[in-house]
Amino acid sequence: MEKKQSAMLAVLIIAIIIVAVLFYGEFTGGFSFVSISDGSNPQEQYQFSKNLDVWFMLMLVAFLMIFIRKFEWGVCLATLLSAAASFVIYLALQQFVFDYTVWDQALLIRAVICAITLVIAIGVFLGTCKMWQYLLIGVAFGFVYCLVEYIIGNVEIFGTLATDPGGSVLVHLCAAYFGIGVALGIRDKTAFDEPMYTTTHSVTFVWLASMLLWMLWPSFVCSLLPLESVTTGTITCYMAGIGSLLSTYFVSSMLGKINCLVFTYAMLCGPVAIGAPLLSVGPWGGLLIGLIAGAVSTLCFVYLQPWFTKKIGVMDMMGVHNLHGVGGWMGAIFVSVIVGSVSTFVIAIIVFVIVMVTGFVIGLVVRATRGSMVICDDDFDFVKTEAPKDLPEEAPAASPAEA
Q: Are 165 and 226 in contact (CB under 8 A)?
A: no
Query: Which residue's CB is nearer to its own copies, number 288 or number 375?
Result: 288
Query: Which residue's CB is nearer to its own copies, number 6 or number 155?
Result: 6
CA dihedral 371, 68, 261, 167 (to 10 degrees): -50
The DSSP code sequence of 307-351 is HHHHHH----TT-HIIIIIHHHHHHHHHHHHHHT-SHHHHHHHHH
Does 392 engage in binding with its own copies (CB under 8 A)?
yes
Query: Which residue's CB is nearer to its own copies, number 105 or number 128?
Result: 105
Q: Integer distance in angstroms from the first to the last C-alpha of the chain?
A: 15
Query: Which residue's CB is nearer to its own copies, number 147 or number 208?
Result: 208
Q: How far is CA 227 from CA 29, 231, 260, 273, in A?
A: 34, 8, 37, 22
Q: Are 359 and 182 in contact (CB under 8 A)?
A: yes
Q: Which residues pair with 390 in a beta bridge?
A: none
The distance of closest approach from Cβ of residue 124 to its own copies in the complex, given in angstroms and rounded to an integer, is: 13
Count of C-beta atoms within a 10 Å radius of residue 224:
17
Region binding its own copies by CB under 8 A among candidate stretches 170-178, 262-270, 356-364, 368-376: 262-270
The distance of closest approach from Cβ of residue 191 to its own copies in the complex, given in angstroms and rounded to an integer, is: 14
HEC sequence for 215-249: HHHHHHHHCCCCHHHHHHHHHHHHHHHHHHHHHHH
Region binding its own copies by CB under 8 A among candidate stretches 120-128, 155-163, 203-211, 327-335: 203-211
Site for its own copies in 67-86 (CB under 8 A): 67-69, 72-73, 76-77, 79-81, 84-85
Query: Which residue's CB is nearer to its own copies, number 371 or number 397?
Result: 397
Site for its own copies in 287-316 (CB under 8 A): 287-288, 291-292, 295, 298, 301-302, 305-306
Region binding its own copies by CB under 8 A among candidate stretches 145-153, 277-285, 326-334, 355-363: 277-285
Site for its own copies in 83-112 (CB under 8 A): 84-85, 87-88, 91, 103-105, 108
Site for its own copies in 136-195 (CB under 8 A): 195
DSSP 8-state assignment for residue 160: B
Site for its own copies in 20-49 (CB under 8 A): 20, 22-23, 25-27, 33-34, 36-40, 42, 44-46, 48-49
Dihedrals phi, psi of 93, to nearest 5 degrees: -65, -40
d(CA 55, CA 381): 25
The distance of closest approach from Cβ of residue 364 to its own copies in the complex, given in angstroms and rounded to an integer, is: 24
The distance of closest approach from Cβ of residue 230 to its own copies in the complex, given in angstroms and rounded to an integer, is: 3
Q: Which of 96, 98, 284, 353 binds its own copies (CB under 8 A)?
A: 284
| Exposed / middle / buried, residue 139 (Cβ in 10 Å: 0-12, 13-18, 19+) | middle
Q: Is 370 helix (H, G, I), strand (E, B) or coil?
A: coil
Site for its own copies in 330-369 (CB under 8 A): 338
Query: Which residue's CB is nearer to its own copies, number 202 or number 361?
Result: 202
Q: Which of 170, 268, 319, 325 binds its own copies (CB under 8 A)?
A: 319
The distance of closest approach from Cβ of residue 354 to its own copies in the complex, given in angstroms and rounded to an integer, is: 26
Q: Which residues pair with 157 in a beta bridge?
A: 160
Query: Which residue's CB is nearer to its own copies, number 338 or number 365?
Result: 338
The distance of closest approach from Cβ of residue 149 to its own copies in the complex, given in angstroms and rounded to an integer, is: 19
Region binding its own copies by CB under 8 A among candidate stretches 60-68, 180-188, 353-361, 363-371: 60-68
Q: Is 167 helix (H, G, I), strand (E, B) or coil?
A: coil
Query: Which residue's CB is nearer to its own copies, number 53 or number 164?
Result: 53
Q: How far, rounded to the nearest angstrom, does the alpha carbon of residue 334 sit from its chain's CA centroid?
A: 22
Of 295, 302, 301, give the one whose Cα is nearest residue 322.
301
Count of C-beta atoms within a 10 Å radius of residue 28:
8
The distance of closest approach from Cβ of residue 8 to its own copies in the complex, given in angstroms and rounded to an integer, is: 5
Number of residues that bind its own copies (CB under 8 A): 151
